[in-house]
């Protein structure tokens, strides 16, 4: 028994280290790292080390747990100031767009591949969701205009919720009607999405209040508590028969845009946890697939994938975002950047574990499609972004401020690093005009720390420690952001630091 555990730990540690190292390789090649992780999983299976794994139920359960963590991290890192302008098109793209994409793929599957309507709609539903992990990882390497990047990230975080509901409805019933007429399914889906979003808001704001007012004994407990709150939102959502995934994303957005203590540590922990979830999920999915069965799925995957990329996705994007004034180049990029990844493969395990006829072929088709079209889309996104004119111009790097509570003093300790391009560089301390109740206590420069004088001139890469009373913390942050963008005359230029530059 001990030997088996030791071997499992050895293999697990080796796979994790290889996967971490593979991130650098995949970044250089411009491909989502999921392909490397899927290959690792397949290498552990029958064609490699010979590990046998066929438990679709366990894969589905662990896959859904991993998606909770990945979606939570996406919500925590989403900035409300960037998300708010694209919220309406993101919701439409995640609902109307999903319906259009699923319907087009279903029609193609029925008439081109001879699938019965229920299975054809399962193909359409499974493939209509973009993958949060793939989108987040890919877009953060590109300087896409904030509006487009925010829309793609918001869509990938929101559209999992309606797609999961649709796949479950098609998987657990004897027919696509499932004993309910179509409008009853719409009402049920509307209830689940509305209540899921409401639960995310309540848990998010309640959790943010608790974290700000609870003096936890160790800084490392704040990241744990934050992630636990997002999982709580998911569990409460399921208990209320609502959308747990939407609850997770909304809760993450609320928490990520609140003034959380040790925010930088929270986001770092969530990022690491999301990477671990991605690695484990993709390796497990690669282990589940049977390589010998993939050959028979290639033709179907190419047909469905072609329809998805050339017809279904462009139609769903045009129907969803054209009314919001997105130009043709934006729509083409949104269509091409709708990456599929682990989410469709995980969703394909739902009908597989439910014993739906044809679900085995569905899983293989989705697996092949994800691999082939990730290769095609991943490397081509950077040049496509340039051709379509969606790259963002060089801008001043936005400040990242971290805070730790000083409970007895009713104050916060703010930390910031002056990034390249910030107009804080060259400003004297007394020119900052910080609110009364805030002061720069320490500056670290070239590895040496000193207490600044009013005449001290700030430089790029300086690290500042600022103490601010509770009542002036927000005003202090706004002033620092304003000076970072427009310099010491920020107020003259009507820059008050309320919104990040876009």
Is 299 part of any domain? yes
Question: Are 233 and 170 found together in one domain?
Answer: yes
Task: State the chain's mean pLDDT as an integer.
Answer: 84
The answer to whether 344 and 131 have CB atoms below 8 angstroms apart is yes
pLDDT at 180: 55
Per residue in 300-320, pLDDT tens? 999 999 999 999 999 999 999
Confidence of residue 183 (pLDDT cuts 50, 70, 90): low
Question: Are 39 and 167 found together in one domain?
Answer: yes
- What percent of the chain clears pLDDT 70, i.e. is strictly above it? 88
Confidence of residue 15 (pLDDT cuts 50, 70, 90): confident
Is 61 part of any domain? yes
Confidence of residue 140 (pLDDT cuts 50, 70, 90): low
Phi, psi of 381 (to 5 degrees): -65, -45
Is 368 part of any domain? yes
Residue among 274, 268, 283 at smallest CA distance from 19: 283
Which one has a higher pLDDT value, 270 or 146? 270
Average pLDDT estimate for 417-437: 89
Identify which of 16-30, 193-207, 262-276 has the greatest average pLDDT.
Answer: 193-207
Question: Are 228 and 365 found together in one domain?
Answer: yes
Question: Are 420 and 351 found together in one domain?
Answer: no
Q: Angle at the Cα of 324 (from 321 to 326), degrees rounded to 5?
A: 70
Confidence of residue 127 (pLDDT cuts 50, 70, 90): very high
Q: Could you list the residue range(s) of the whole structural domain that residue 479 is in?
A: 401-486
Question: Are 349 and 426 found together in one domain?
Answer: no
pLDDT at 176: 40
Is 501 part of any domain? no
Confidence of residue 202 (pLDDT cuts 50, 70, 90): very high
CB neighbours of residue 313 within 10 Å = 25
Is 499 part of any domain? no
Question: Are 363 and 275 found together in one domain?
Answer: yes
Which one has a higher pLDDT value, 4 or 455? 455
Question: Are 434 and 289 found together in one domain?
Answer: no
pLDDT at 493: 67
Last residue of a domain, one of 358, 388, 418: 388
Cα separation, 58 vs 200, in Å, equals 26
Question: Are 379 and 405 found together in one domain?
Answer: no
Which one has a higher pLDDT value, 318 or 470? 318
pLDDT of 124 above 90? yes
Is 243 part of any domain? yes
pLDDT at 501: 41
Question: Are 132 and 231 found together in one domain?
Answer: yes
Question: Are 185 and 298 found together in one domain?
Answer: yes
Strand-by-strand arrangement of the 401-406 sheet? 401-406, 411-417, 463-469, 438-445, 448-450
CB neighbours of residue 241 within 10 Å = 12
Per residue in 29-76, pLDDT tens? 555 677 778 888 888 877 777 777 778 888 888 888 988 998 899 889
Last residue of a domain, one of 388, 419, 454: 388
Question: Are 456 and 417 found together in one domain?
Answer: yes
pLDDT of 212 above 50? yes
Q: What is the CATH number of the domain that holds 423?
A: 3.30.70.1450
Last residue of a domain, one of 328, 362, 388: 388
pLDDT of 28 above 70? no
Which one has a higher pLDDT value, 90 or 3? 90
Question: Are 99 and 171 found together in one domain?
Answer: yes
Q: What is the CATH number of the domain that holds 115?
A: 1.20.1530.20
Residue among 436, 401, 428, 421 at smallest CA distance from 484: 421
Per residue in 237-286, pLDDT tens? 999 988 888 999 999 999 998 888 888 888 889 988 988 888 888 888 88
Per residue in 285-301, pLDDT tens? 888 888 888 888 999 99
pLDDT of 330 above 80? yes
Q: Angle at the Cα of 179 (from 174 to 184), degrees rounded to 5?
A: 130
Domain count across the chain: 2
Confidence of residue 178 (pLDDT cuts 50, 70, 90): very low
CB neighbours of residue 214 within 10 Å = 13
Is 491 part of any domain? no
Average pLDDT estimate for 443-447: 89
Average pLDDT estimate for 450-476: 90
Per residue in 370-383, pLDDT tens? 888 877 777 788 78
Per residue in 380-409, pLDDT tens? 887 888 898 888 765 555 666 666 676 667
What the block records as the tokens of 174 is: 């004897």
Is 495 part of any domain? no
pLDDT at 175: 43
Q: Of 6-15, 17-26, 83-92, which gets the smallest average pLDDT?
A: 17-26
């Amino acid at each position: 028994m001990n030997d088996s555990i030791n071997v499992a730990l050895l293999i697990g540690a080796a796979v994790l280290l290889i996967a971490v190292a593979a991130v650098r390789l995949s970044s250089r090649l411009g491909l989502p790292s999921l392909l490397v992780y899927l290959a690792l999983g397949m290498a552990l299976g029958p064609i490699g080390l010979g590990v046998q794994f066929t438990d679709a139920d366990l894969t589905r359960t662990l896959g859904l747990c991993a998606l909770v963590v990945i979606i939570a991290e996406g919500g925590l890192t989403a900035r409300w100031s960037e998300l708010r302008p694209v919220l309406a098109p993101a919701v439409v793209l995640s609902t109307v767009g999903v319906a259009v994409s699923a319907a087009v793929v279903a029609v193609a599957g029925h008439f081109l591949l001879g699938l019965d309507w229920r299975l054809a709609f399962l193909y359409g539903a499974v493939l209509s969701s973009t993958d949060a992990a793939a989108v987040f990882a890919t877009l953060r390497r590109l300087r896409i205009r904030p509006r487009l990047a925010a829309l793609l990230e918001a869509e990938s975080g929101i559209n999992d919720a309606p797609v999961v509901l649709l796949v479950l409805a098609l998987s657990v019933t004897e027919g696509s009607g499932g004993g309910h007429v179509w409008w009853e399914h719409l009402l049920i889906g509307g209830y689940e999405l509305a209540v899921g979003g409401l639960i995310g808001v309540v848990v998010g704001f309640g959790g943010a209040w608790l974290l700000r007012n609870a003096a936890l004994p160790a800084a490392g407990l704040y990241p744990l508590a934050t992630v636990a709150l997002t999982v709580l939102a998911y569990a409460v959502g399921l208990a209320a028969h609502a959308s747990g995934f939407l609850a997770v994303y909304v809760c993450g957005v609320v928490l990520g845009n609140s003034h959380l203590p040790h925010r930088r540590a929270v986001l770092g922990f969530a990022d690491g946890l999301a990477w671990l979830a991605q690695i484990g999920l993709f390796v497990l999915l690669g282990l589940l697939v049977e390589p010998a069965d993939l050959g028979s799925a290639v033709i179907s995957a190419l047909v469905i994938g072609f329809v998805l990329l050339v017809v279904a996705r462009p139609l769903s994007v045009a129907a969803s975002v054209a009314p919001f004034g997105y130009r043709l180049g934006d729509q083409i990029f949104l269509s091409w950047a709708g990456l599929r990844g682990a989410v469709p493969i995980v969703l394909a395990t739902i009908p597989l574990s439910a014993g739906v006829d044809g679900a085995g072929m569905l899983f293989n088709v989705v697996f092949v499609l994800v691999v082939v079209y990730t290769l095609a889309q991943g490397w081509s996104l950077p040049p496509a972004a340039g051709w379509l004119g969606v790259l963002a111009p060089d801008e001043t790097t936005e400040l990242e401020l971290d805070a730790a509570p000083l409970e007895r003093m009713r104050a916060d300790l703010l930390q910031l690093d002056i990034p390249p391009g910030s107009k804080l560089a060259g400003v004297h301390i007394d020119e900052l005009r910080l609110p009364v109740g805030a002061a720069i206590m320490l500056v670290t420069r070239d590895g040496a720390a000193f207490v600044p004088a009013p005449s001290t001139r700030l430089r790029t890469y300086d690290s500042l420690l600022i103490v601010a009373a509770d009542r002036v913390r927000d005003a202090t942050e706004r002033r620092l952001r304003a000076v970072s963008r427009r310099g010491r005359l920020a107020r003259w230029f009507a820059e008050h630091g309320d919104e990040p530059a876009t």
